[in-house]
Amino acid sequence: MNKTHHLPDFLGPCPGISPIPAFSDNYIWLISKDGQALVVDPGQAAPVLQALKEQELTLTSILLTHHHADHVGGVAELVEQTGAKVWGPAGEVLPVCDTPLSEGDTFEDAQLQLKLSVFDIPGHTAGHIAFYGTFGSTPILFCGDTLFAAGCGRLFEGTPAQMDESLAKLANLPANSRVYCGHEYTLSNMRWACTVEPNNPALQHWQAHASEQRSLGQPSLPSSIELELACNPFLRARQPLVAQAAANWAQRELTSPVEVFAALREWKNNFR
């Protein structure tokens, strides 16, 4: 490996934030402090209830990024069992939502030392939101199914232009922000990313690290904005080598970054 390249640091887990695995590859993120807890995108109730019991935590809040069942399926039962309050996207139909949120809104919990701002990031779904802010002094991002480590969500309810703009908002956040995605898709995203950019040393370095974490049964997440900027093809549509690779795959000239982005998404959809 060429040592003259700057390779992004792996930030590692943030104490107080841990994943609760759900279904085959979802993560429900659990934030806890002094016996109190919050979860993000509980697609299932049972694993959350079990974690609360094991760690002797009281669930007070539930944050939702978008309406898909694998992110909201456990909400009704958790509310019934714990009385937790629910915050979620204003533009989507949710099983329960006490406080609808959209861009510019904030979520604060003094006891958890959590201060989050809401961003509208349509594309995967029409009303998808992200939560960005600080836990204590650590910058953190919960981005649901919009930004994945070395990938992005499929465009179920949005256009490539919308998703490109949504990802650009997230890419502008501080480089040292920890990125908490909704799924463990990292290694398969990286296999594709290495096809797009076979000579990206930061990507190779991260892939080796993530492979080791997964082989030890650990999550590959959190990622960071710095890692995504260095490695994620969907944030790199404006890099000449990425644009060229997308044009080669599409077998046509791509005349704008959004066209490059759309071709990358199509490429990934077809990648096995």
Which of 70, 120, 164, 205 is the catalytic position? 70
Task: Specify the residue, 70 or 228, whose C-beta has the smaller distance to Fe ion.
Answer: 70
- Establish whether 128 is a catalytic residue: no
Least spacing, CB of residue 25 vs Fe ion, in Å: 9
Residues 221/186, Cβ–Cβ less than 8 Å: yes
Which of 67, 71, 128, 205 is the catalytic position? 71
Candidates 145, 184, 197, 228; binder of Fe ion (CB under 5 A) is: 145
Task: Identify the helix (H) or strand (E) that includes residue 58.
Answer: strand 58-63
Residues 66/144, Cβ–Cβ less than 8 Å: yes
Binders of Fe ion in range 160-179 (CB under 5 A): none
How would you classify the pairing of strands 36-40 and 58-63? parallel
Task: Identify the helix (H) or strand (E) that includes residue 33.
Answer: strand 26-33
- Establish whether 67 is a catalytic residue: no
Residue 259 interacts with Fe ion (CB under 5 A): yes or no: no
- Establish whether 66 is a catalytic residue: yes
Which of 41, 120, 128, 145 is the catalytic position? 145
- Establish whether 124 is a catalytic residue: yes
Q: x/- site string to Zn ion, residues 135 to 174, per CB under 5 A?
A: ----------x-----------------------------
Give the burial string for 219-252 (b: 16+ CB within 10 Å, else e): bbbbbbbbbbebbbbbbbbebeebbebbbebbee
Binding residues vs Fe ion (CB under 5 A) = 70, 145, 182
